[in-house]
Structure 1
Amino acid sequence: MKQEGFIFVLMPFDSTFDDIYNFGIKQTANKCGFYCERVDEQIFEGSILTRIYNQIEKADIIIADLSNKNPNVFYETGYAHALNKNVILLTQKTEDIPFDLKHYPHIIYKNNIGTLSESLELKLNWFKKNKNEERADESGFIEFYNDGNKIEENGTVIFNDIEHLHPFIEDEDELAGTNHISFTLNLYNSGNKIMDTISDLGLEIENIFTDSRLNDYEERKVIQLPNNKVLIPSGYVDLVYPKSWSSLKFYIGTKSQFKKLPTEMVLKVYKENGVNSIPLKIEYRNVKIK
């Protein structure tokens, strides 16, 4: 098989990661035609840190597993980013992603080697086919859709996906407390370059929530803003490859957590060079508004 390039892997020196490395990462990399190594597999003289930096510089792709918040892996990943390397970030859980790396896409594999291998194979095959592809410095070719319709400024979006968590409850007041209102946002990359410049997305709406939602740690916490506004962040935006789609679902709250249902919102698009604001009207589907 043609050698596609060298992958250097950064991860904690811990035997509990051996299967993840051997079967989730290395086996997948070899399947895609890449040569893959960790520093502990190599024979060398001198400082291990010097060797790691040397291998980061030589590698075509860096795979970094941020699980367990290992400070050495964080530092080495920062060095790879400083060299503008192609870096694929992994983690078993989102809680291990440090603040400075939250705007980068991650493979979140939840200790499932099959999930890791499948997601990693997709990324490696894309890199293999697009070795010389530039990353976009603008997100102007990202289109937003909801309910099958393209989102335009001052247009209307649908809040729906009412999930009856207890479908056999007949009492309307009790049922109202179990209905979850959510908003689905679909992203389409209509361009020919990979999109990774959007660091986060958020919904800014009037603060019409009860304290139970404002302090709800089971779901994504809302951020209270000035002027009686709140922001519901997505918290994570993956790479959007050329001519492909990505989807995000925002949890808004249960009906019992609203003092009233909002009728307007602003979609916030956060990028490295600023924020785009898209004002929108809200329509409710299958939601009884009293």
Structure 2
Amino acid sequence: MSDTTAPKPFVFVLMPFAKEFDDIYEFGIKIACQEVDAYCERVDEQIFTGSILDRVYNQIAKADIIVSDMSGMNPNVFYETGYAHALGKQVILLTQKIADIPFDLKHYSHIVYQGSIKELKEELKKRVSWCIENPDESIDKAETNLEIYLHGKKIFPNAQLSVSITLDTKEHKFSASFAVHNASKRICDANTVQLGLITPRQFKGEPASSTIQLSKTESIHLFPPLARILPNAWQQTELILNIADVSELINEKLSFVLRIFNELGTTDIPYNLTIRLKEEV
């Protein structure tokens, strides 16, 4: 029989107090915590005596989990987040824009929600739930801070990429070269991460490849298993697919999704790709 009187995990939120962040907090962060049975507060919701700074430090020390929204590079939030890290707290970092992540924090994974409260809520639920289940572990252990490049061009959400690739016109094979960069300060364990590429129906898997039909219009192709990647190291991988009709590809803007599987679930990075073909004789 479960102990229903046990206190819920306490999530303390560090973020700017500007009005434009109110909906992000109320309908994104707070709802996400409630849906995984955690209790969430900001300091401006609390009644207390003494200085607000002392109260913030007190609540950081008492919290089970810290959620920090780094959007706008607010110096108070940065300082308070540093204090939470110094205490060894489980810290989940958020930001609306990648550009707001300073150099010293780029090796820490962030939820980049780009103003989407729905996306923020779903990603935050995964991380808060993981922290509750693993109270003595840093969230960095579950995060895979990987940067993926296609033919030297970084894949990021809603990127508009254009690449020239080799196409074997006799066998109708599409060969794409990917580079994987471990941008964290931790070793990326190959046993805890898998990459997949969701493509339009024109792309068919090689007989020996792992391809799963998701719908009438899309398939997911699983990459070859990655080896262990050291901090700040790179690894090359290749995906070879068959093309049913070459003419459908030339200069067309196609929708792809890079899917990253890890302990937290899945992260999807949608992007568009215009393909310029280089024929091999």
Which TM-score bucket, shorter chain as reference? 0.5 to 0.7
Q: 1:78 to 1:248 in 2, by over 3 A?
A: farther
Distance (whole Å) between structure 1 residues aligned to residue 67 and residue 139 of structure 2: 18
> Contact 1:64/1:73 (CA < 8 Å) preserved in 2?
yes
Please name the residue that 1:65 is paired with. Answer: 69
Deviates more, 1:17-26 or 1:280-289: 280-289
Deviates more, 1:54-63 or 1:121-130: 121-130
Structure-to-structure mapping, 1:37-56, within 5 angstroms: 37-56=41-60
Where 1:57 maps in the other structure, the secondary structure is helix
Q: 1:242 to 1:85 in 2, by over 3 A?
A: farther
> Contact 2:127/2:139 (CA < 8 Å) preserved in 1?
no
Structure 1: any 5+ residue segments left out of the alignment? Answer: 147-157, 162-176, 188-197, 202-236, 250-266
Structure-to-structure mapping, 1:85-104, within 5 angstroms: 85-104=89-108
Distance (whole Å) between structure 1 residues aligned to residue 20 and residue 96 of structure 2: 12
Please name the residue that 2:84 is paired with. Answer: 80
TM-score where L is the length of structure 1: 0.54
Selected match of 2:38 from 19, 34, 47 = 34
Please name the residue that 1:13 is paired with. Answer: 17
Please name the residue that 1:128 is paired with. Answer: 132
Q: 1:17 to 1:283 in 2, by over 3 A?
A: closer
TM-score where L is the length of structure 2: 0.56
Mapped pair 1:184 → 2:168? no
1:127 to partner: Cα distance: 1.6
Distance (whole Å) between structure 2 residues aligned to residue 25 and residue 283 of structure 1: 37
The letter for the 1-side match of 2:23 is D
1:128 to partner: Cα distance: 2.0
Number of residue pairs the alignment of both structures matches: 191
The share of aligned pairs that are identical, in percent, is 44
Q: 1:10 to 1:246 in 2, by over 3 A?
A: farther
RMSD of the TM alignment (CA)? 4.3
Please name the residue that 1:105 is paired with. Answer: 109
1:246 to partner: Cα distance: 5.1
> Contact 2:190/2:228 (CA < 8 Å) preserved in 1?
no
> Contact 2:33/2:39 (CA < 8 Å) preserved in 1?
yes
1:185 to partner: Cα distance: 5.4
> Contact 1:80/1:87 (CA < 8 Å) preserved in 2?
yes
The letter for the 2-side match of 1:288 is E
Where 1:64 maps in the other structure, the secondary structure is strand
Selected match of 2:29 from 17, 25, 30 = 25
Please name the residue that 2:193 is paired with. Answer: 245
Per-residue displacement from partner, 1:6-46 (whole Å, max 9, x unpaired)?
11000001011011001100111011111110000011111
Distance (whole Å) between structure 1 residues aligned to residue 78 and residue 196 of structure 2: 27
Distance (whole Å) between structure 2 residues aligned to residue 3 and residue 119 of structure 1: 24
1:99 to partner: Cα distance: 1.0
> Contact 1:186/1:248 (CA < 8 Å) preserved in 2?
no
Where 2:93 maps in the other structure, the secondary structure is strand
1:131 to partner: Cα distance: 2.2
Distance (whole Å) between structure 2 residues aligned to residue 241 and residue 128 of structure 1: 22
The letter for the 1-side match of 2:101 is I
Where 1:74 maps in the other structure, the secondary structure is helix
Per-residue displacement from partner, 1:109-141 (whole Å, max 9, x unpaired)?
11111000000111111122222346789xxxx
Please name the residue that 1:288 is paired with. Answer: 279
Q: 1:130 to 1:24 in 2, by over 3 A?
A: same
